[in-house]
């Protein structure tokens, strides 16, 4: 790297870049077992499929689409969509949560091993 | 905001958050006109559709999937996929391009108005 910004390695990402798709058995995954597009679509109703096919592949509002925010809010008992903010991945959300909720010198308890970006 | 990190507003994003989906006519778009999922799928072959339906919705290698990198490389005359690195959006790619290719004090010429992150 010839630039001036010398960021430390994101060690978890470096580790995964080597082993995630080469190890015979992967016992370190933090995500649930996923599925294929076909398997996911098979879970939907005809109405879901129609909404999916008509989905416009353009930019969305900064804070996420209204249907997404409403769906997330609906999974809580007392939350409205106006209180839901979408992020581009967990890392971005963790970054801002730490910036907003934690002051320098405060004590933070986290599980280890954990997702390194926190 | 109660945290210590005081980033300046990303003015373009602030502007879009107000106007992108409320203005009657949008003459400031920098992206090409997009399409719906159904319109996109209609462009594909049977083989494309099968590959899409069998696509596993899990994590990918850090630098992008091999088919993506091969497709990008294939759009150039003399590029192999090992030279292609995927990013999560243009902003991330612009950031690293500037970090790697430009030294402090160097002269950079850009079009204005442009995408603010550059």
Region B78-92: what's the mean pLDDT?
91
Q: How confident is the model at residue B5 (pLDDT cuts 50, 70, 90)?
A: low
Which residue from B minimizes the CA distance to A60? B21
The answer to the question of residue A50 being in a domain is: no
Contacts with B34 from chain A: Cβ below 8 Å = 56-58
CB B69 within 8 A of CB A25: no
Distance to chain A for B87, nearest Cα, Å: 12
The answer to the question of residue A67 being in a domain is: yes
Among A9, A13, A37, A87, the residue to mutate for chain B (most B Cβ within 10 A): A37
Is it the case that residue A1 has pLDDT exceeding 50? no
In 3-state terms, what secondary structure has residue B103? Answer: coil
- Number of domains observed in the structure of chain A: 1
Structural domain containing residue A74: 60-103+111-118
DSSP structure string for A37-77: HHHHHTTS-HHHHHHHHT-B-S---TT--HHHHHHHHHTSS
CA–CA distance, A72 with A63 (Å, rounded to integer) = 13
Is it the case that residue B3 has pLDDT exceeding 60? no
The answer to the question of residue A76 being in a domain is: yes
A32-71: per-residue pLDDT in tens? Answer: 889 999 999 999 999 999 999 999 998 888 899 999 999 9
Distance to chain B for A69, nearest Cα, Å: 15
The answer to the question of residue A34 being in a domain is: no
Identify residues of A whose CB sits under 8 angstroms from chain B CBs.
1-5, 13, 16-17, 20-21, 31, 34-38, 40-41, 52-59, 61-63, 88-89, 98-104
Phi, psi of B79 (to 5 degrees): -135, 135
The answer to the question of residue A91 being in a domain is: yes
Identify residues of B whose CB sits under 8 angstroms from chain A CBs.
1-5, 13, 16-17, 20-21, 31, 34-38, 40-41, 52-59, 61-63, 88-89, 98-104
CA–CA distance, B29 with A8 (Å, rounded to integer) = 36
Contacts with A3 from chain B: Cβ below 8 Å = 98-103
The answer to the question of residue A38 being in a domain is: no
Q: How confident is the model at residue B16 (pLDDT cuts 50, 70, 90)?
A: confident
The answer to the question of residue A84 being in a domain is: yes
Phi, psi of A51 (to 5 degrees): -60, -40
Which residue from B minimizes the CA distance to A102? B3
ipTM for the assembly: 0.74
The answer to the question of residue A97 being in a domain is: yes
CB B99 within 8 A of CB B118: no
Q: Do B103 and A4 touch (CB under 8 A)?
A: yes
Sign of the torsion angle spanned by Cα atoms B118, A92, A61, B69? positive
């Amino acid at each position: 790297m010839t630039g001036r910004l010398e960021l430390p390695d994101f060690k978890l990402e470096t580790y995964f870049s080597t082993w995630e798709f080469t190890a015979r058995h992967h016992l370190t995954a933090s995500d649930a077992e996923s599925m294929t597009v076909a398997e996911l679509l098979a879970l939907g109703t005809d109405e879901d499929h129609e909404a999916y096919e008509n989905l416009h592949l353009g930019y969305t509002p900064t804070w996420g689409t209204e249907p997404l925010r409403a769906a997330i809010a609906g999974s809580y008992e007392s939350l409205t969509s106006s209180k839901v903010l979408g992020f581009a991945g967990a890392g971005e959300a963790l970054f801002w949560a730490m910036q907003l909720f934690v002051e320098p010198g405060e004590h933070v308890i986290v599980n280890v091993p954990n997702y390194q970006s926190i």
